[in-house]
């Protein structure tokens, strides 16, 4: 990528190619800031993890659709119209938690 090189011995004068003008450059993790330091996850990686967890939750819930009641129906609690939805994260997170509680009650 361009003339950027990461030597592994970071100094204040080094160009840091893992951030900046390209919105993270598509990286899922970032290298340690110091020798033997922790690798840092990106927000992109955290969002991917959340999406995979949601997919697993809804796949399990779909198998027990008859026992889930109205929890899998996003209308009107989440979506009031196909083009309008509740923008509060708590609304989606509360629905997700309710589905998880029901799955746990079913023994999953």
The residues pairing with 81 across neighbouring beta strands, listed in sequence order, are 84
Residue in the structure block whose two tokens are 């959340």: 50
Question: Does the pLDDT value for residue 36 go beyond 50?
Answer: yes
pLDDT (tens digit per residue) in 54-87: 999 999 999 999 999 888 888 777 887 777 777 8
Which residue has better confidence, 1 or 20?
Answer: 20
Mean of the per-residue pLDDT values for the chain? 80
Rg for the chain (alpha carbons), in Å?
21
Residues 80, 86: contact at Cβ < 8 Å?
yes
Question: Does the pLDDT value for residue 14 go beyond 70?
Answer: no
In this prediction, residue 17 carries a pLDDT of 56
- Please report, for the chain, the start and end positions of each structural domain, with discontinuous segments joined by +: 17-63, 65-108
Element holding 80 (H helix, E strand)? strand 79-81
Tokens found for residue 78? 């989440």
């Amino acid at each position: 990528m361009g003339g950027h090189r990461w030597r592994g011995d970071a100094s204040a004068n080094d160009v840091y190619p893992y951030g900046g003008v390209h919105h993270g450059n598509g990286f899922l993790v970032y290298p340690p800031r110091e020798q033997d330091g922790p690798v840092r996850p990106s927000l992109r990686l955290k969002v991917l993890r959340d999406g995979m967890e949601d997919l697993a939750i809804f796949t399990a819930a779909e198998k027990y659709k008859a026992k889930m009641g109205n929890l899998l129906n996003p209308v009107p609690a989440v979506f009031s119209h196909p083009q309008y939805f509740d923008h509060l994260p708590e609304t989606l997170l509360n629905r997700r938690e309710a589905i998880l509680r029901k799955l746990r009650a079913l023994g999953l």
